[in-house]
Amino acid sequence: MRYVELATLLKNAAEQGTANAIKQERPVPDQLTKADAYRLYGRSNVDRWLREGLILAQQPTDTSQIFLDRSELEVVAASSNRITYLPTRDR
């Protein structure tokens, strides 16, 4: 096994173990309000992801709050890079 593969496996195991420990200690909600997403990921990032269609907003009929799926946010944040928001001439 190569060192890069081993490092990747260990990193993934550590991330998964941390996520499991946090879930057991304090349940993480499946959905975040838009304000909470702004605090965690930054307003410009969340607005850009919504504009580009990378995440979808959900608005229940019984409240005026907008909710975002936490798993979608985590996936997009983990894979986000500058290429998605640089103007075409700067890419």
Over residues 68-79, the pLDDT tens digits come to 999 899 888 888
In this structure, are residues 46 and 80 in contact, taking their beta carbons and an 8 Å threshold?
Answer: no
In this structure, are residues 67 and 57 in contact, taking their beta carbons and an 8 Å threshold?
Answer: yes
**DSSP-based helix, strand, coil % in the chain, nearest 5:** 65, 10, 30
DSSP structural state of residue 62: T
pLDDT tens-digit series, residues 23-47: 777 666 788 999 999 998 889 889 9
What span, in angstroms and rounded, lies between the C-alpha atoms of 86 and 77? 16
The pTM (predicted TM-score) of the whole model is 0.59
Give ∠ CA 53-80-54 in degrees, rounded to 5: 10
